[in-house]
Amino acid sequence: MSRSRTPLVLGLALAGGAGYYLYSAGGSPKVAEKNFENDLKYARDRASGKADEVRTDAEKFGAETGAKVDTAIAKAQSEYNRATANARDAARDAQANVQKHVEDARTSVNKSIDAFDKKVEDTASKTKSNVSSWFGGK
């Protein structure tokens, strides 16, 4: 049956680390412990510094992205306002154009009605003179 070698590897790494610190401290366990604590503090500070850099970079990226989003929103709003103003102007122009055509049509219809009325009156007066001539009038 196969067995996991993880405990063996971890044990050897721990023994090697302890041996390194004892050897570098000249065999004194207290000095080796101090060196180990200093190394841990140094590693923690570097990791913390990297975390601060990452946090600062993330904040910078967030600010840049926010500025780009704000710019895009402002641009879209200005385009919307411009399009709305153009639509209002076009509607106003179309309404004025319709009013002009209505007035032109009204004037044309009134002229046609007046011409028809004049023609009817002229024809009626001719007919009246013709009919009255039958009965001895002028």
Residue 73 is assigned to a structural domain of this protein: yes
Residue 9 is assigned to a structural domain of this protein: no
Residue 17 is assigned to a structural domain of this protein: no
Instruction: Quote the number of domains for the chain.
Output: 1
Q: What distance in Å separates the CA atoms of residue 34 and residue 55, rounded to the nearest whole number?
A: 31
How does DSSP classify residue 25? T
Domain that holds residue 98: 23-123
Torsion angle, alpha carbons of 110, 112, 114, 120, to 10? -150
pLDDT at 138: 56
Residue 15 is assigned to a structural domain of this protein: no
Residue 79 is assigned to a structural domain of this protein: yes
As a whole number, mean pLDDT of residues 55-80 equals 90
Tens of pLDDT, residue by residue over 107-131, are 999 999 999 999 999 898 888 877 7
Tens of pLDDT, residue by residue over 7-17, are 889 998 989 98
Q: Residue 36's CB: how many other CB atoms inside 10 A?
A: 17
- Percent of residues, the chain, with pLDDT higher than 70: 94
Residue 13 is assigned to a structural domain of this protein: no
Residue 129 is assigned to a structural domain of this protein: no
pLDDT at 110: 93
Q: What distance in Å separates the CA atoms of residue 13 and residue 7, rounded to the nearest whole number?
A: 10
Q: Is 45 helix (H, G, I), strand (E, B) or coil?
A: helix
What pTM did the predictor assign? 0.41
Residue 92 confidence (pLDDT) above 80: yes
Residue 44 is assigned to a structural domain of this protein: yes
